[in-house]
Each structure stands twice: as C-alpha cells, then as structure tokens.
Amino acid sequence: MTTPSRSVALVVAAALLAGSPLSAGRDDRPGRPALDYKGRRAKNVIFFVGDGMGVSTITATRVYSVGVAGNLVVDQFPHTALSRTYGADAITPDSAPTMTAMMSGVNTNAGVLGLDETTEPLDFNHDGDGRAPWTLLEEAKASGMKVGVISTARITHATPAATYAHINNRDNENAIALQALPGDPTFNDRLGDGIDLLIGGGRQFFVPSTVTDEEGGTGSRSDGRDLRREFQSAGYSYVWNTAGFNALNRASLPVLGLFERGHMEYEYDRPTDSGSEPSLTDMTVKAIELLDGASRKSRKSGGYFLMVESGRIDHAHHEGNAFRALTDTEELDEAIGAAAHMVDLRDTLIIVSADHSHVFNIAGYPLRPKSELPYQVTSNDPGFEAPAGNGILDVVYDLTSGGAVAAAGDRNGVPYTVLGYLNGPGYRGGPRTDPRTDAFPGRGGVVPNGPSHPAYFQESAVPMGSETHAGEEVAIYAVGPGAALVHGTVKNTHIYQVMKAALGLGE
C-alpha cells in the first residue's frame, strides 16, 4: 500500500532538485496522474519488457514451449490490452521513444531517451533539447521507494536507460552510464542517492578503453574513468559473475552488476559464458528479494519499483534466428512466473509488455501435432510424427484429400516453414528448396539439419542484412492493484499512467 507521505516526499524532492542540470528550465516536478483511479493502491510495481516481443513472438513461444493449447504464465494474466507503439516521428519505432513513452508517458522521436518530442536525435536542428519528463522510476525513488533495473542487454542500452537517463542520442552510452553515477556532475539528481539495483550487461561503458576487464574484454570509455570503482566509492556493491551475484544479500544494496562486456548471452548460449552469468529468472528473483527486503527495512516502507527487460529477443529477430527469439521469450516467461509466485499480488502490480514488434510471421495452415488431432489420419509424412517445437519450428504440415498429411508446398510444390520473416538475412536468393534439406548456411556457416536447428535462418522475402521492427500493436498483460486499468487499445504511454495511478504517485 502506498504511504501517505509519498506525495509530500515528492514535493520535497522536487524542490531540492531545482538546481540540478537535468531539471533546470524543464520539468522540476512530476505531473499529476492522468487516470482517475480509486481502487486498491499498489505498494510495488514490477514492469517486464520483452524487447521486440510482438504478439506473433508470444504465440510462437507458446506453441514451442507448452503447445498451442497450453498456457504461458502471461496467458494467465487477467487483464490485457493492445498497445500502439508509434513514435512522435515514426510509424515503426525503435526502443528509445517507446520505452520513454512507457516510462514517462511522453511520446518522443527515434533515438531519443527521456526527452520530449521537441527533441531531435543529436539535436540536428541545433535548437536545444526539449523538456525532460520524470520517469516512473524517478518518481518512485523520489517518493521513498526502492528502485531496480535489470536487463539482459547492456544496462545503458535504450530500454533500461529510458528508466533513468535523459539524452538525445541513445548511442552515447558512456554519458548514459554517468547519469546513473551518484556524485558525478552529470548524475541525474532525480535518482536521489541512486538506483538501488542496476544489473545486466554493458561493462564496457564502465571500464576505460585501456583496461582489460574481468573476463578479458576491453572497455570503451575514452575518458579513462573506471566507473566500477567510482560506483563502489559511491557505496555500491559491484559484482560481475555468478559467484558474486549469488553472494548478494539485502545488506549489499545498492548493487551494480555487470555480467558481460556487451550484451549478456542469449539464454541458449548462456552456459558457455566465461565468467558465468545469471539467468533472467535468477536476476529477477534476486532483485525482488533484495528490494522487497530493503523496502520493508526502510522506515518509510515505501515499496519498490523494478523494471526487468529481456533485451535479446529483439537481437535474435534482427539476426533472423527464430530459435533464440523463442528461447529468450520462454526465459522471460519463466522470470515472470517466478515473480508472480514471490510477491503478494494484492499489493504488487505486475505489467508485461513490449516496446515494438518484428516482421515475424506464423504462416500457412499447419496442423497440430498428430497426437493432438481430434481424428485419425490415413497416412502422413514421417516428419509429422514428431514435428519440431510442437510444430512451430518445422515445415507446414497440412491435411490433403483423403485424410493424409503432407508437407504443404508453395506454388511449385516446395515445402515452407511455419515461421518466417518479411525481411532479413534469411533471404535465399535462388529457387526455393525444401527447408528440411536446405543447405543454405545458417549462423556460423553451419548447414542446419532442418528449421529447428539453433543456427537456422528462417526464410525472408526481402534481402536485408538485418531483419526489422514492425509497427503493429503489442500486448500488455497486467495483474495486481490497478491492473483493471489495462484494457482496450491504448497508446503505450498508458502503461506509465497505469503504474503511476496504481502507486498513487503525484497525488
């Protein structure tokens, strides 16, 4: 439950920030809630973001993971909505404006983080940046809550950075890292004594370019600063591998965890990591333990806000590799399930959404696996005896006349896969061949032994080095106090308003 002192604390914090670089001439206090919400208040909010997790990705993951009639954890959420993702300047957005919208309630331009729509990327009109709206994380922190940010991408990447940074160029991650460092001249003062828990990848932006990090990687900071040490000087516990991560406890807060030089590994590849790194579920569970414990111990007992991003679903799609997109989405679902089991859903709002979709399709009229069919078939292709991934990672098997099952063909009779991309690296360039014997080299030059192989490129229609985002709506799932506000077709800024109303921030 929210505390009566929360709104007072916000006003005091806003007054103290009047002189900070960030707030000068801009929003020096957060706005009032836009939603009129009279229901039970949330004490805590956990916001899960699947980067690039469009509806087709969720559907495909469901079939792969639990079968077409099974239920993922998100399928069990009682409240859902569709979220429109367009940016202020784009029909199809990147992660910077969409996460800004979800975290600040303000729609902005491609590449811009935490600044409004009058801000061009890199200020190309040289007219200065627009205002910097408060993020939900900043408001939560200013109200006395504990706050945490988790990502399997770099922790300074667009999605996590939109929770705590304000900058007109998402790629300037050296600067973004400094905005999270207490005591730095560019520190985002709205964060008070700093983000309580910041864990993910992206060590390079905390390490000088002349220094080798714990796993043998090189840093990317040209200013020679070692932010690992500076965060420690600011009171942070710093960990970089599973051993350090496992040793974290409530007394460890605030925590900086950087488990990879760049992005963390895909879930499928994670066991091969040199330093070993925790899974998204591991990080989520640990974060809840630490933040919940600390918020109870706090005199203010203000609850916590936690953002958890599965950042590499997006990367797998860009690579044209459905396998890793599905396995990372499955891991996100595991993390959501772990969170849902840990918290009291009467005082914790959990929201799940995505920043944008991808041009990723489920095609044809594939039959369900043979064992699930409500009728006998007279004969079938041997591959249909156990279709890969419950049928989703295989070719399309369809019913022919007389109750027989065969691989469905294109207009030349050549089979095709259930999953595919409109564009991307999976363009074959020549006459199509049966995907089950297709010698088109997949990832690593490996010739996959079929479309379920981890190296397989799903076919694409347009030859591009990298597959692209898509502009249709994405889903929102919600449970807990305030979740009933999630319904209908809404702009993604609605997510910010729901979280804010549920917490009673700014009232």
Partner 1 sequence: MGRPSFRHGAAAVAIGIGLAVTIPVSPLAQGHRRGGSEDVPIFIVPTRAPAAARPASPPDLPREALALVSATLQLQTTRGASGAAVVQTVTRTADRVHVETGAGRELLYMRNPTDVRRVSAMLTDHTARTTVVYDESDLRRVLGIRGWLDVLTLGFDPGRFAELRPVSGTRRAFDLPFEHLEGPGSADGVLEAWWHQGELLPLEVVRRRPESDAPVVVTVVQRSLAVDRQRLALPTTRFPDYRQLDFADWLEGLHER
- Which 442-461 positions form the footprint of partner 1 (CB under 8 A)? 443-447, 449-450, 452-455
Could you say which residues in the range 56-85 bind partner 1, by CB under 8 A? 64-67, 69-73, 76-78
**Contact in structure between 114 and 100 (CB atoms under 8 Å):** yes
Q: Does 439 bind partner 1 (CB under 8 A)?
A: yes
The backbone torsions φ and ψ at residue 314, rounded to the nearest 5 degrees and listed phi first, read -60, -45
* DSSP-based three-state secondary structure for 436: coil
Please indicate whether residue 95 is annotated as part of the active site.
Answer: yes
Query: Please, which residue, 409 or 450, has the CB nearer to partner 1?
Result: 450
Q: Does 46 bind partner 1 (CB under 8 A)?
A: no
Q: DSSP E strands: which ranges in 143-196?
A: 146-154
Query: Please, which residue, 22 or 339, has the CB nearer to partner 1?
Result: 339
Q: If phi over 0 gives left and psi between -120 and 50 gives alpha, with beta otherwise, what is residue 162?
A: alpha
Name the minimum Å distance from CB 271 to partner 1. Answer: 5
Cα–Cα distances in Å, from 78 out to 58, 70, 173, 250? Answer: 16, 16, 37, 32
Name the minimum Å distance from CB 312 to partner 1. Answer: 8
* DSSP-based three-state secondary structure for 218: strand
Q: Does 379 bind partner 1 (CB under 8 A)?
A: no
Could you say which residues in the range 138-157 bind partner 1, by CB under 8 A? 154
Fill in the DSSP letter of residue 131. Answer: -
Name which position in 21, 31, 337, 409 contacts partner 1 (CB under 8 A).
337
Query: Please, which residue, 16 or 422, has the CB nearer to partner 1?
Result: 422
Structure-block tokens of residue 304 = 């916590």
Name which position in 127, 193, 223, 372 contacts partner 1 (CB under 8 A).
372
Structure-block tokens of residue 275 = 């330093």
Could you say which residues in the range 1-30 bind partner 1, by CB under 8 A? none
CA–CA dist 485, 502 (Å, integer): 9
Helix%, strand%, coil% for the chain, nearest 5:
30, 20, 50
Name which position in 183, 235, 271, 403 contacts partner 1 (CB under 8 A).
271
**Contact in structure between 181 and 230 (CB atoms under 8 Å):** yes
Choices 144-152, 237-245, 254-262, 402-410 (CB under 8 A): range interacting with partner 1? 254-262
The backbone torsions φ and ψ at residue 335, rounded to the nearest 5 degrees and listed phi first, read -65, -40
Q: Does 319 bind partner 1 (CB under 8 A)?
A: yes
CA–CA dist 489, 468 (Å, integer): 24
Q: If phi over 0 gives left and psi between -120 and 50 gives alpha, with beta otherwise, what is residue 184?
A: beta
Please give the biggest Cα pair distance in the chain. Answer: 78
**Contact in structure between 43 and 2 (CB atoms under 8 Å):** yes
Could you say which residues in the range 194-223 bind partner 1, by CB under 8 A? 209, 212, 214-218, 220
Residue type for position 166: H
Name which position in 4, 91, 371, 376 contacts partner 1 (CB under 8 A).
371
Choices 6-14, 22-30, 225-233, 286-294 (CB under 8 A): range interacting with partner 1? 286-294
Q: Which of 56, 95, 143, 151 is catalytic?
A: 95
Q: Does 273 bind partner 1 (CB under 8 A)?
A: yes
CA–CA dist 398, 379 (Å, integer): 12
Query: Please, which residue, 11 or 226, has the CB nearer to partner 1?
Result: 226
Could you say which residues in the range 112-131 bind partner 1, by CB under 8 A? none
The backbone torsions φ and ψ at residue 439, rounded to the nearest 5 degrees and listed phi first, read -95, 10
Contacts for 229 with CB less than 8 Å, ≥ 6 apart? none
- Burial class from Cβ neighbours inside 10 Å (0-12, 13-18, 19+) for residue 373 reads middle
Helices 322-342 and 280-297, axial angle in degrees (round to 10): 30
Q: Does 250 bind partner 1 (CB under 8 A)?
A: no
Query: Please, which residue, 222 or 233, has the CB nearer to partner 1?
Result: 222
Query: Please, which residue, 143 or 220, has the CB nearer to partner 1?
Result: 220
Name the minimum Å distance from CB 159 to partner 1. Answer: 12
Number of residues forming the site for partner 1 (CB under 8 A):
90
* Residues paired with residue 308 on neighbouring β-strands, in sequence order: 48, 150
Q: Does 249 bind partner 1 (CB under 8 A)?
A: no
Name which position in 137, 176, 199, 340 contacts partner 1 (CB under 8 A).
340
Name which position in 41, 146, 225, 261 contacts partner 1 (CB under 8 A).
261
Could you say which residues in the range 462-491 bind partner 1, by CB under 8 A? 464-466, 468, 479
* Residue written as token pair 């419950």: 390
Q: Does 397 bind partner 1 (CB under 8 A)?
A: no
Q: Does 232 bind partner 1 (CB under 8 A)?
A: no
Name the minimum Å distance from CB 337 to partner 1. Answer: 4
Query: For the chain, what's the residue count?
Result: 507
Query: Please, which residue, 77 or 187, has the CB nearer to partner 1?
Result: 77
Query: Please, which residue, 266 or 427, has the CB nearer to partner 1?
Result: 266
Q: Does 263 bind partner 1 (CB under 8 A)?
A: yes
Give the residue numbers annotated as catalytic, written as ranges.
95
